[in-house]
Amino acid sequence: MNGAYEAAILDLDGTVYLGDGLVPGADESVQRLRDRGAEVLFLTNKAIARRRDYSEKLTGLGIETAESDVINSGWVTAQYLKKNHPTAEAFVVGETPLLEEFHDAGLSTTTERPGDLVVASMDRQFDYEALELALETLDGGAPFVATNPDRTCPIEGGAIPDAAGMIGAIEGVTGQTVDEILGKPSPTMVETALDKVGVEPESCLMIGDRIETDIKMGKRAGMTTVLVLSGVTDREILQESEISPDYVLESLADIDEVLQER
């Protein structure tokens, strides 16, 4: 179709699925995008799983997905450290999948002693000892990076704390603000995603449930932004936000409202 979107970048939690359950109609909408010739890329800020884990989950939910069709903040952070701090030992506040991502990139990590820099991410085992080691690491002004800025992660029936809790705790005791956040809405994340789909921003959809990450990133890059209300954002939050998406849908199932205008 002439003028059709050439690519669509989709958030996962709250957009395609909630917890272990598919958002009703999401699988059919992804297929419609693909049938219209759009390259579909899944982009998530969660670093508590590997890209292959997300591809396997999506495939199991009926959305055939290759590992290369998924980018997450853990992988992007590993590539950033490999380029900018290749010999540093990172003290990591994060879970096993993030550590595995770093090791696959040839990076050194520690969780039991101070390192050369701090990486903060969602960590459901975060404790006082980790906070103390982060304080020791940053005492000399070491770099402080984070995988993503999300306050919460949507799940079926509610939400759970995300990386912002760990970042805030470390900032609070050290007085040092995080230097670099690699996940959405960072320029690094959007550049990585656009390089992967290989299209100009104006030919790409950005679809997500979070205004301050998904929609902010998409608008800043010049993509057509689509907010879905199936995750963390409701109409009251939308009304109070200074960021205005191009489209607002109840869920991904309503994607035809966007596609029929192109």
Q: How do the domains of the chain map onto residue ranges?
A: 7-45+184-259, 74-181
**CATH number of the domain at 7-45+184-259, please?**
3.40.50.1000
11 is catalytic: yes
Question: CA–CA separation, 59 vs 207, rounded Å?
Answer: 19
Question: CA–CA separation, 197 vs 202, rounded Å?
Answer: 13
Per-residue pLDDT 10s for the chain (262 aa) are 347 899 999 999 999 999 899 999 999 999 999 999 999 999 999 999 999 999 999 999 999 999 999 999 999 999 999 999 999 999 999 999 999 999 999 999 999 999 999 999 999 999 999 999 999 999 989 999 999 999 988 887 888 999 999 999 999 999 999 999 999 999 999 999 999 999 999 999 999 999 999 999 999 999 999 999 999 999 999 999 999 999 999 999 999 999 997 7
**DSSP-derived secondary structure letter, 23:** P
Specify the amino acid at residue 66: A
Question: CA–CA separation, 88 vs 77, rounded Å?
Answer: 14
Instruction: Return the structure tokens found at 123.
Output: 């960590």
Place of tokens 């995080």: 178
- Cα distances from 239 to residues 18, 211, 213, 219, in angstroms, run 23, 11, 16, 17
Tell me, what's the pLDDT at 1? 38
- CATH 3.40.50.1000 matches 74-181: yes
Q: pTM value?
A: 0.91
Check 11, 69, 162, 214 and give the catalytic one: 11
Cβ neighbours of 96 (radius 10 Å): 12
Helices and strands of the chain, counted as H and E runs: 10, 15
Question: CA–CA separation, 30 vs 247, rounded Å?
Answer: 17
Check 13, 27, 69, 214 and give the catalytic one: 13
Tell me, what's the pLDDT at 2? 46
CA angle 145, 194, 122 (to 5 degrees): 30
Question: CA–CA separation, 198 vs 68, rounded Å?
Answer: 13
* Fold match flag (7-45+184-259 vs 74-181): yes
